[in-house]
A and B are shown apart, each in its own frame.
Chain A
Amino acid sequence: MHNVDLAVIGGGPAGLAAALAARRNGVDNILIIERDKELGGILQQCIHNGFGLHYFGEELTGPEYAERFIEMVREENIPYKTNTMVLDIQADRTITAVNSREGLLKIRAQAVILAMGCRERTRGAINIPGDRPAGIFTAGCAQRFVNMEGYLPGKKAVILGSGDIGLIMARRLTLEGVEVKMVCELMPYSGGLTRNIVQCLEDFNIPLKLSHTVVNIHGKDRLEGVTIAAVDENLQPIEGSEEYVECDTLLLSVGLIPENELSRGVGIALDPVTSGPVVDETMATSVEGIYACGNVVHVHDLVDYVTRESETAGYHAAEFIKNNNGASGSEVHRTIPGKGVRYIVPQRISNNSLLKGFKIFFRSDKVYVNARIAVRCGRQVLHSVKRQKISPGEMEILDLKPSHLENIEVSSLAENGLTIELEY
């Protein structure tokens, strides 16, 4: 058995930032465990720029953002194992991992940080009828092919889903000479950033078909075409609107889901909306000594916020270790998504949070223009701010300061929880 103070599972931006924050808060014996052959996580395949504007104040590409953190981890001499996959975690924080050099490893940690990121939804998760020929990829898988291995997935592509990864891939494939015929989006709005719609689609005259979906797939060995159709308000295909589009490649960009097999195994409470662990403002999960951060908790659109959130997790995991595994023992309360709010992270807050203040991350259920975000406890409104636009594609952050929280009654908070809602 190998003993460490802190084990970090996943060497993406979340794991790296968490490990660095824990080291800076006095933890010596840290181990980062990464299943890939290098650190950096999914950023290594995101070669476009637009990362780091909030954290570093400059626009970096994904690999540049990753390299800055990998360098810091090396400077701090934080040990890591690559090509090593964690198979299991127990509630007493014993970890089982495997690699080809050492075989099966048992690691006992005082605290664990989960930073396994997310994976993409596949066609199985969305059920398109029709044949099952080659030529259908998730957008992220195609991104890895093109950017890291240098293969093009095909010559003529249709992209289903207008999230940022799909949009970015539309531009990337176009630059590499692939004809991107269209991007179809089931919803009446795009899930991607406006900037990406302009610079990835409009720049290259790629049509964005809102309220459209793929209803059939054609081809025996290789994809030959897809049938698309418009959908009504209930997202059901409208009969008679079908159109055949010839293509040899279909990219699915239909969403990401946090990677939580390990969390489920150890019995961590998961939020059914985010599919990630329920956490408090310190990023502690429901199992003592186990923290979580990054895309494993909820899907982020900006890595900068992943970094900030992970620093919080690293800092508090260090506090837990230094206090000799003493949990804070403070009472916890619920945060409640009110009108217009789909989910909130953290789902729990402690009494301590009222003194220090904390950040609320949330997503709306649809697009709102000129709405007000209100924070209330029962009928008492604690804070409210106006936003010109709130959309599900852009995560909202609310910084609650101790001054917003000083008039709160703990008994009322225990009874009513803290509600975030939109007024429009």
Chain B
Amino acid sequence: MAQALNTALRDALRDDERVLVFGEDVGPLGGVFRITDGLTRDFGEERCFDTPLAESGIVGFAVGMAMGGYRPVIEMQFDAFAYPAFEQIVSHVAKFRNRTRGKLGLPMVIRVPYAGGIGGVEHHCDSSEAYYVHTPGLKVVTPATPADAYWLLRDAVADPDPVVFLEPKKLYWSKEDTDLTRRQAEPFGRAVVRRAGRDATLVAYGPSVPVALEAAKVAADEGIELEVVDLRTLVPFDDETVVASVRRTGRCVVVQEAQSFAGVGAEIVARIQERCFHSLAAPVLRVAGFDIPYPPPKLEHSHLPGVDRVLDAVDRLQFDDRPDVLHLARGAA
């Protein structure tokens, strides 16, 4: 995926001279994850450059550059290091179009390596998507495959609105045979069914997509066919694809790596029950991280929702009208 992102940036720089790449260590080093590898060498200092070390400055500077006719693609080095820029993102990036009654939009992309599963020490593994999706005016993207990483990033750069582009760090090293010169991806804003199945739907995005796919594979061995929907863009949200799938299967589990409370999963579950109530054979469940600060490396495996937790949730979907015994036994509120 890292390679696909690098290629997307190259192609964007090549195709549109307004595109600029800047941030911390994105120049000669090529970024700490090497996503911008070689861009300064190949496109010059003016197109890809290092800034002083200040996230609020980087985002604010990008706002100004966008006002001045450029299309900045900026990097926050890690999820948690974007927080100093939060003020710029929620008060300015997200609201510029609205404040100016549509006269001034900000075409810019904020790339954020995010989420866990890489054994990172504190502040390097946050799942921060809920903060962004809760902010009207921001589009929020998270690819799960190299092809999507490429095409969604190209789409994000071309978008007239600001896009927060969340790159699941643990998928940087994932590989896929794909020809990036031919579009093999759904349009921006559409979810995609990654695996078809009739018994229940797993809704996933970003880092939880491979987990859902793996769970579906294991379930298939036991004769349960799970459908896996990869959301791709959280904003805009593709109700249509999700609803069609859940209406077909009648059962659904939403899988997210982020902590659970008031997370993206909560929004998805609400939307599904609003639209699919009469098709549902069981409550829509969530599998998520615990409501704790991201754990230290040696304990992250206890926190991260894995295949077993997904399958446990599937077991609770009241097949054959079995009540949700696990839930009852736990005496949960």
Partners in one complex: no
A residues bordering B, Cβ < 8 Å?
none
